[in-house]
Amino acid sequence: SLKAQTMDEMWDTRSSGKEHPNIQWFKDAKFGLFIHWGLYAKLAGEWKGKRYYGSGEWIMNQARIPVAEYKAVAQTFNPVKFNADEWAQLASDAGIKYMVITAKHHEGFAMYNSKVSDFNIVAATPYKKDPMKALAAATTKRGIQFGFYYSQFQDWYEPNGGRNTWDFEEGKKDYEKYYKEKAVPQLKELMTNYGPLGIVWFDTPGGMTKEQTQAFVDDLRKLQPKSLFSSRVGQGLGDYKDFGDSEVPSTPIKGAWESIYTHNDSWGYIKHDMNFKTPAEIIRLLANVASKGGNLMLNVGPDGEGRIPEYSAKFLRETGKWLDKNGESIYGSTYGLVPAQPWGVSTSKPGKQYLHVVNRPENGRLLVPGFNGTVSKVYSLIGKEALEFKTEGNDVWITLPEFESGSANTVFVMEYSGK
Ligand code: FHN
């Protein structure tokens, strides 16, 4: 019988307890790019002259657009400005190590050449090309892991498509039929035709028992045993844990996990909302997530023309510049041993604590309280300038140089032995 799972159960990970043999690249990666791109990008938060607040990719649901009308949007979706190399190069310049893009979101539209459903970018639009083919190649060529997002249970285009449909009679849904005729064959297309996938990112699981989900996962894993499945595959069968949207745990978490954020208040492109995070906020967020031991997957929403908006590209480039200089303190790190302080957070590598200072103490004296290790030296990560420090019991007092604080993190390295 179908038992509704709690959110925690749904998004928990590895009920088997064993880590995926290929998990280490993910743990080291720290910074991923999420891309939400679909027909909703063309509507951009507006329908029939009315603006809909909230996330752009939900407009079909928010405006209760009948399936037949929504289907017609595809007839004018023609993202001629899409350029896979530009997107992949931007990701590379941003210091991104993996990319996950929506192959099919809740709208049910396949952004790739699907033979399973003609509601797809090749068959249903004047564009007629498969952007995912080009993007997978351009991304992988740059040494960035490529992956697909797939909304496996919520599909508003399909009569049996799981949650939140409105254009069909409720209560008469045959989930098994939906999985058998759409979700599973489309996932198999994606896992067969686009080269090696670092990640298959599932969203909003449901409609299957634990046994059915296990069979679903086992069947798909045969196609690409190296791919990592996100925890939203459901039933604890993912390889790493996704926290809730825009959620960062308050304490360090062991194992492989990811926080997901979007660059503004929407995952899909919307033309109205300008509430964007600044590069400094992104960098502080990345360091905060890394200080707890996880990855940040940051989302951008390309527009209906196929462009990543310039303001999104700008903060990605700025973040990349910071990572060019400070990446040692992020990539391959684990959670910091110095709990979050008023001045900032820490990340760890063997024998090193990276102190990410956002708020420089007025008098330049930085306290690392209760540190259980013997500190041998402290220096600036950039420039390696040696800093004076004094240990009082387990407290370490560091004399900082002058620097402008309150923007992106300034990183100092504290080398130590024993702990
Ligand atoms: O409903 C979706 C939403 O549109 C977006 O894709 C997010 C991204 O994590 N996932 C679901 C809400 O959690």
pLDDT at 11: 55
Residue nearest atom 7 of ligand 1, based on CA coordinates? 245
The pairing of beta strand 334-335 with beta strand 228-229: unpaired
* Ligand 1 atom closest to 244 (CA): 13
32 in Cβ contact with 297 (< 8 Å): yes
How many angstroms does the Cα of residue 383 sit away from the middle of ligand 1? Answer: 41
* ipTM for this prediction: 0.99
H-run or E-run covering 51? strand 50-51
The Å distance, Cα 58 to ligand 1 centre, comes to: 9
Distance of CA 346 to the CA centre of its chain: 22
**Residue among 318, 316, 354, 319 at smallest CA distance from 333:** 354
248: pLDDT strictly greater than 80: yes
Q: Which residues contact 208 (CB under 8 A, 6 or more apart)?
A: 2, 153, 175, 179, 216, 234, 235
CB 162 within 8 A of CB 154: yes
CA distance 239 to 176: 24
What atom of ligand 1 comes closest to residue 105's alpha carbon?
Answer: 6
Of the CA atoms within 13 Å of residue 195, those in its CB half-sphere come to 15
Ligand 1: centre distance to CA 37 (Å) = 12
**Ligand 1 pocket, 130 CB below 6 A?**
no
Residues 36-68: tens digit of each pLDDT: 999 999 999 999 999 998 799 999 999 999 999
**AA letter at 12:** D
Residue 303 near ligand 1, beta carbon < 6 Å:
no
Separation CA 233–CA 242 (nearest Å): 10
Instruction: Indicate whether residue 247 lines ligand 1 (CB < 6 A).
Output: no
Determine whether the shortest distance from the Cβ of 57 to ligand 1 is under 6 A: yes
Q: In whole angstroms, what is the distance from residue 121 CA to residue 107 CA?
A: 13
242 Cβ closer than 6 Å to some ligand 1 atom: no
- What is the residue-averaged pLDDT of the chain? 93
Distance CA 277, CA 262 (A): 9
**pLDDT of res. 1:** 44
Is the CB of 55 within 6 Å of ligand 1?
A: yes
Ligand 1 atom nearest residue 242's Cα: 9
How much distance in Å is there from the Cα of 365 to the middle of ligand 1? Answer: 43
Quote the ligand 1 centre to 385 CA distance (angstroms). 44
pLDDT per residue over 361-390, tens digit each? 999 999 999 999 999 999 999 999 999 999
User: Which residue's alpha carbon is at the smallest distance from atom 5 of ligand 1?
Assistant: 267
| Distance between Cα 107 and ligand 1 center (Å) | 12
What is the distance between the alpha carbons of residues 65 and 43, in angstroms, rounded to a whole number? 12
Give residue 168's pLDDT band: very low, low, confident or very high (50, 70, 90): confident
Residues 6+ apart with CB under 8 A from 285: 248, 261, 277, 296, 298
End-to-end CA, the chain? 50
Each residue's pLDDT tens digit, 60-113: 999 999 999 999 999 999 999 999 999 999 999 999 999 999 999 999 999 999
**Per-residue confidence (pLDDT) for residue 221, from 0 to 100:** 97
> Where does the pLDDT of residue 6 fall: very low under 50, low under 70, confident under 90, or very high at 90 and above?
low
* pLDDT at residue 331, as a whole number: 98
Looking at this protein, which amino acid is placed at residue 318? E
Query: Could you report the per-residue pLDDT of 294-311, keeping only the tens digit for each?
Result: 999 999 999 999 999 998
Those residues with Cβ within 8 angstroms of residue 197's Cβ, 6 or more apart along the chain or in another chain:
146, 147, 148, 190, 191, 224, 227
Q: Which of 33, 35, 55 to mutate to test the pocket of ligand 1 (most atoms within 8 A of CB)?
A: 55
203 lines ligand 1 (CB under 6 A): yes
The pLDDT assigned to 14 comes to 56
User: Is residue 18 scored above 90 in pLDDT?
Assistant: no
CA of 24 to the centre of ligand 1 (A): 26
C-alpha 203 – ligand 1 centre gap (Å): 7
